[in-house]
Structures are given as structure tokens and as C-alpha cells.
Amino acid sequence: MTSMFLELREGLTIAWWAIRANKIRAILTMLGIFIGVTAVVLMSTAIKGIDNSLQQGVSSLGSDVLYIDKWAWFSNEEWWRMRNRRNIEMNDYYRFKDLVKLPLAIAPVSNTVQTIKYGDRKVEMVFLNGSTSDYVKTTNFDFSAGRFYSDIESDGARNVAVIGSEISSKLFPRGDAIDKTIKIGPVNYKVVGVLAEQGSTLLGAFNPDNQVFVPLGTIFKYFASRNMRSITINVRAANPEMLEATKDEAEGIMRKIRGLAHNEPNDFSINQQEGLTSFLDSITIIIKIAGLFITGLSLFVGAVGIMNIMFVSVKERTREIGLRKAIGAKRRTILTQFLLESSVICLIGGIIGLIAAILLSFMLNQFFPTSVQYDVVILAIVISLLTGVVSGLAPAYTAAKLDPVDALRYE
């Protein structure tokens, strides 16, 4: 046991010397592992980041909400078939609202894209959501200041607005948005509420943080005439378990409202988060496989480099190996020594790669969601050690089975 430990320590010392004696060569080899490990760490942090961000984004849609729309979010149907559907109009909404019993809340939504201004600050291409005061009940919004617009403001189509956290921080860096008058397009609105951050950088314009919410009546008044555009009806089930029942009810009632015969297909779609989740899942799986392939490839190249260097190292030190055997080193000892050498090279390269990747991912975080987790640290270390052992195995084995006499004779 003590001899094992001594041999291990001696092996480490020898490895360290061998590396130091050939610094440039070792550094070039480490570069291969460095790039591989950096790629692995970056890729896995990026994937985690995308996952987290999508998860947040999707959950901000609410798992218990249905979106009755002219368009299906994900569908095999040709888009022109959907385009030829009749619009969903406010009258559909009123009749729907009268007939349904199950939902917790229902809100008609119409949106347009507008520029929002305050003084000389402005945010362009903002999703402007028009709805009723019930809209807030179909979401999980929290407010960092103020409130959602009221029934009276909604019914009276008052010029009041609730703004997302990012809009707020862009227009009101000091956080004093409430009661200020902003310009949406050419129209003045008073800010009555600011949403707390919902937090999903990936969803972009679809993220509530980047949106503005106003009474539906004002949308029709200033931005779009009442029957020009199809609205969406947001329906929130009483709880997630009731989602299917609520969906069945909604489908039946919509068919009735739209006067569809038995053999006619739906001329509307009922969308929900689930479809989005599975769609996003399929995208992230593609990203993951591609990432795995690329990082695997770069690691493989690094490993081949190490193997090459280790073979050279064994050749160069043939006499030394012969001597060590002549004075009592066992095969196992020689094997361990060279495995340690390749592992040390890989570990050093891997640790530098890990540090680089962490720094890089902090930098990237400005533009792109990343998330460094410490299982990644363990992953990087395990991968570099594994690469070291795997790529060192063949050269180490060659060294271990050298014949001592031949090795000592080697010129």
C-alpha cells in the first residue's frame, strides 16, 4: 500500500519533470485539451442557459391557459388554409363569454407593434397588447409598482398603460414610471403599473418584460379598426387538471358560435403551452446533439494529439525506461508513470480550459443566456482525466512491455 503511494508520488514527480523538460511541446498538447474542454464547458453552460431561459419563458405563458386563435402555433396545415379562416371577432368573444362556465378568466387580446416614447427616450418595435381588465387574471403577473388597469378604465377605453420591466428601465432608468405620460405611437397614455421582471431573454419581443398592456378599446380607437384583425381569446382554466375539460368546452362552444356543421373542421385553433414546450424541446435536442458532436470532435482531436506526444515521449525515454526496469520498476509502475504523465497534461489543460470557459461564459452572458453550474466543473475535470487516461493508455502500455535489455541498448 505504501509502495503504491510512493510509486504514485514518484510517478507524479516524473510526470512533472517530463512536462517541464518539454514545455513548448506540453503546452501545444495542452492546447488541444484546452480547446476541447472549453468547448464542452461552454456548450453545456449554453445549453443549460437556453433550457432555463426557455423554461422561464414558457412558464410565463402559464400551463393552464388556452389561446383561441385563428392561427395554430404549431400545425401541419398549410398556412393559406388558416389565412382563409374567418377572423375571430369581438362578437365571438362576447357570445363565448356568455356561454362558457368552466374558465377562471377570459380575456380578448389584440396586439400591434408600436414605438413607445418618453421625452427623448424611446423603445421601438414594442408588442402592444390590448385587452380587458380580466387579462391580468389569465397571467401570473407580479407588479413592481402600481397595478393593472381597472374595469372602469378598460370599459371606458381610457388611455392608461401597464409596462413591462424592461420597457420601464429603458424609459425610466430611475424607476419613477408611475403617473408619467408616455407616447404610444402618436397617443398619450398614463402609466398605471410596472410589471416585475418575468425574466426570459430568449423569447425577445414575446417576453412580457418587453411589452406594454393597454385597454382593448384604445387599440381599436387609435391603431386598428375593430373588425380588421382577428383577436385571440385567452382562457384560463380553474386549475391545470381542469385544462382538458375547459378545452373541450371551449371547442364545443366555439364551433357552435361559428355555426360549424358536424363534418366541417374547426376554423379556429386552441393553442396551449404544451405545444410550445415540445416544439422548444425538439429544438434544444438538436442544439444538444450538434453541440455534443462538435465538442466530442474537438476532444477527440486533442486526445489524438496527446497520444502522439506520449508515443514520442516513450520513444525518447526508452533507455530511461530500461534503467527503471533494471533497478526494479514493475510493468505496472511504468504503466502508471506514463498514464500519470498524460493525465497531468490533460488535467492542466482541462483546468485552464475550464477557467477560460467560465470567464467566457460570463462575458457571453451579456448577449446570450448562460449558466455555469458546478457539475460542469466536475464534468470538465472528469473529461480531461478520462481523455488523459484513454489517450495515454496505448503509449503507456507500449512502455510497460518494453524489454529491459532492448530498452537499455536503444540508441
Partner 1 sequence: MNIINIEHIAKIYQVGMEQVHALRDVSLKIDKNEYVAIMGPSGSGKSTLMNMLGCLDTPTSGVYDFKGVSVSEMTDNELARIRNKEIGFVFQTFNLLARSDAVHNVELPLIYAGVPSAERKERARQALIDVGLGDRMHHKPNELSGGQRQRVAIARALVTKPAIILADEPTGNLDSKTGEEIMALFLEIHEKGNTIILVTHEEYIAEHAMRILRLRDGLIEKDELVERRFIPKARETIL
Binding-site member from 152, 205, 359, 405 for partner 1 (CB under 8 A): 405
CB-wise, 309 or 354, nearer to partner 1? 309
User: Applying CB under 8 A, does 22 fall inside the site for partner 1?
Assistant: no
CB-wise, 2 or 263, nearer to partner 1? 2
Mapping DSSP onto H, E and C, the string for the chain reads CHHHHHHHHHHHHHHHHHHHHCHHHHHHHHHHHHHHHHHHHHHHHHHHHHHHHHHHHHHHHCCCEEEEECCCCCCCCCHHHHHCCCCCCHHHHHHHHHHCCCCCEEEEEEEEEEEEEECCEEEEEEEEEEECHHHHHHCCCCEEEECCCCHHHHHCCCCEEEECHHHHHHHCCCCCCCCCEEEECCEEEEEEEEECCCCCCCCHHHCHHHEEEEEHHHHHHHHCCCCCCCCEEEEECCCHHHHHHHHHHHHHHHHHHCCCCCCCCCCCEEEEHHHHHHHHHHHHHHHHHHHHHHHHHHHHHHHHHHHHHHHHHHHHCHHHHHHHHHCCCCHHHHHHHHHHHHHHHHHHHHHHHHHHHHHHHHHHCCCCCCCCCHHHHHHHHHHHHHHHHHHHHHHHHHHHCCCHHHHHHCC
User: Applying CB under 8 A, does 315 fall inside the site for partner 1?
Assistant: no
Min separation Cβ 323 and partner 1, Å: 5
Binding-site member from 280, 300, 320, 410 for partner 1 (CB under 8 A): 320
User: Applying CB under 8 A, does 21 fall inside the site for partner 1?
Assistant: yes
User: Applying CB under 8 A, does 333 fall inside the site for partner 1?
Assistant: yes
CB-wise, 54 or 344, nearer to partner 1? 344
Backbone φ and ψ for 322, nearest 5 degrees, come out as -60, -45
User: Applying CB under 8 A, does 410 fall inside the site for partner 1?
Assistant: no
CB-wise, 25 or 288, nearer to partner 1? 25
User: Applying CB under 8 A, does 6 fall inside the site for partner 1?
Assistant: yes
CB-wise, 281 or 406, nearer to partner 1? 406
Min separation Cβ 310 and partner 1, Å: 18
CB-wise, 312 or 359, nearer to partner 1? 312
CB-wise, 194 or 329, nearer to partner 1? 329
Binding-site member from 162, 231, 250, 329 for partner 1 (CB under 8 A): 329
Binding-site member from 281, 319, 359, 382 for partner 1 (CB under 8 A): 319
CA angle 328, 334, 336 (to 5 degrees): 130
Q: Taking a C-beta distance cutoff of 8 angstroms, is the pair 133, 141 a contact?
A: no
Footprint on residues 165-184 left by partner 1 (CB under 8 A): none
Candidate ranges 209-217, 240-248, 315-323, 349-357; the one touching partner 1 (CB under 8 A): 315-323
User: Applying CB under 8 A, does 404 fall inside the site for partner 1?
Assistant: yes
Min separation Cβ 13 and partner 1, Å: 9
CA angle 235, 218, 149 (to 5 degrees): 60
Binding-site member from 176, 286, 331, 378 for partner 1 (CB under 8 A): 331
CB-wise, 267 or 320, nearer to partner 1? 320
Binding-site member from 54, 270, 324, 358 for partner 1 (CB under 8 A): 324
CB-wise, 26 or 88, nearer to partner 1? 26
Binding-site member from 157, 323, 379, 394 for partner 1 (CB under 8 A): 323
Candidate ranges 24-32, 168-176, 343-351, 401-409; the one touching partner 1 (CB under 8 A): 401-409
10 Å CB burial of residue 99 (0-12, 13-18, 19+) is middle
Binding site for partner 1 (CB under 8 A): 2-3, 6-7, 10, 17, 21, 319-320, 322-333, 403-405, 408
